[in-house]
């Protein structure tokens, strides 16, 4: 079945009385080339894959061709019988009717893949993009690659470099644990129904070790959050509202690691955030 064909998608929807739910981010992909790019970027190599939001199964189909096993999490129960038909030829697929934000991913990987390192592939529903990416990254799961279709703006924020308008706490979180890379930009017209904005396929390869070494990860992320709390203010003012050490002491700490207190948070590299949070940690001891 040619699931990339808009005509077939509309036919399936009509046959099953399926009406697209905007609230669930149901925009189905119609480009075979993009599907191949997603599957290739996921580097499945006969391994395991978790797919989030299979829809009618257009990406699932591509993943099942090369994976040892695919586990697809779909929140919409109306899609379960449709997937049983469209994916009938595969015996390496398990579809689970659950909300990916509410499932215990660690237990799922253990149960379905014996704890083996897996890949994640998804054309993500846009309303959950940030929470799902953040939770998958923070959970420190056995994942080697995450290849996700997201809004173009979000992909740009995730891979942004210091001193650019897109650089922020999300860029730092993602770059601390992974190597993010935009694989390709996907115009809105390649989806049925088309969303309002263009998308991008983003590949995040998990690093063996975090990109920078820090003494206390939670303090590192607290420092980052504080630095971006008020974008127009200096780093000193942002930190002062979040760390009750007094401006004089804070300036001293910043200067001790070579950071000018008048700089703005968005100019700091991950390495600078690491030395700053380590210095703040020493002071609070």
The residue (of 48 and 125) whose beta carbon lies closer to ligand SAM is 125
The residue (of 40 and 76) whose beta carbon lies closer to ligand SAM is 76
Tokens representing 63 are 């993943």
CB of 45 to ligand SAM, least distance (A): 21
Task: Compute φ and ψ for 121, nearest 5 degrees.
Answer: -135, 140
| 49 within 8 A of 42, measured Cβ to Cβ | yes
Q: How far apart are the first and last CA of the chain?
A: 63
Q: Which residue is nearest to ligand SAM (CB)?
A: 53
The residue (of 41 and 274) whose beta carbon lies closer to ligand SAM is 41
| 233 within 8 A of 220, measured Cβ to Cβ | no
CA gap 181, 66 in Å, rounded: 22
Task: Compute φ and ψ for 72, nearest 5 degrees.
Answer: -110, 125
The residue (of 119 and 277) whose beta carbon lies closer to ligand SAM is 119
Assess whether the previous peptide bond of 13 is cis (omega < 30° from 0). Answer: no
| 251 within 8 A of 243, measured Cβ to Cβ | no
Tokens representing 70 are 């695919």
Tokens representing 10 are 């509309």
CB of 174 to ligand SAM, least distance (A): 20
CB of 48 to ligand SAM, least distance (A): 18
CB of 83 to ligand SAM, least distance (A): 9
Q: Checking phi first, is residue 45 left (phi over 0); if not, alpha (psi -120 to 50) or beta?
A: left
The residue (of 96 and 270) whose beta carbon lies closer to ligand SAM is 96
CB of 12 to ligand SAM, least distance (A): 12
169-177 helix and 129-138 helix, angle to the nearest 10 degrees = 40
The residue (of 66 and 230) whose beta carbon lies closer to ligand SAM is 66
Q: How much is the CA Rg of the chain, to the nearest whole Å?
A: 21
CA gap 115, 197 in Å, rounded: 37
The residue (of 27 and 159) whose beta carbon lies closer to ligand SAM is 27
CB of 270 to ligand SAM, least distance (A): 30
The residue (of 85 and 99) whose beta carbon lies closer to ligand SAM is 99
CB of 196 to ligand SAM, least distance (A): 13
CB of 177 to ligand SAM, least distance (A): 22
Contacts of 6 (CB under 8 A, 6+ apart): 30, 192
Q: Which residues bind ligand SAM (CB under 6 A)?
A: 24-29, 52-55, 58-59, 73-76, 79, 99-101, 123, 125, 128
Tokens representing 92 are 């390496």
């Amino acid at each position: 079945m040619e699931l990339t064909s808009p005509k077939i998608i509309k036919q399936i929807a009509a046959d099953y009385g399926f009406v697209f739910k905007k609230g669930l981010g149901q925009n189905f992909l119609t480009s075979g080339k993009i599907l191949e790019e997603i599957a290739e970027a996921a580097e499945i190599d006969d391994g395991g894959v978790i797919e989030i939001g299979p829809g009618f199964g257009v990406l699932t189909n591509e993943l099942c061709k090369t994976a040892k096993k695919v586990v697809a999490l779909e929140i919409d129960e109306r899609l379960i019988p449709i997937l049983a038909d469209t994916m009938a030829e595969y015996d390496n697929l398990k579809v689970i009717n659950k909300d990916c934000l509410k499932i215990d991913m660690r237990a799922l990987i253990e149960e379905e893949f014996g704890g083996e390192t897996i890949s994640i592939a998804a054309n993500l529903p846009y309303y959950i993009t940030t929470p799902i990416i953040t939770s998958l990254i923070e959970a420190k799961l056995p994942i080697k690659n995450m290849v996700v279709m997201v809004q173009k703006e979000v992909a740009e924020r995730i891979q942004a470099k210091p001193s650019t308008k897109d650089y922020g706490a999300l860029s730092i979180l993602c770059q601390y644990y992974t190597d993010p890379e935009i694989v390709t930009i996907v115009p809105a017209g390649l989806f049925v129904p088309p969303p309002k904005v263009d998308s991008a396929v983003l590949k995040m390869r998990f690093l063996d070790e975090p990109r920078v070494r820090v003494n206390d990860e939670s303090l590192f992320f607290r420092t980052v959050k504080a630095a971006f709390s008020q974008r127009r203010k200096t780093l000193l003012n942002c930190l002062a509202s979040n760390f009750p050490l007094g401006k004089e002491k804070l300036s001293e700490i910043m200067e001790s690691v070579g950071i000018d207190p008048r700089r703005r948070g968005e100019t700091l590299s991950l390495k600078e955030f690491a030395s700053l949070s380590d210095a703040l940690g020493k002071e609070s001891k």
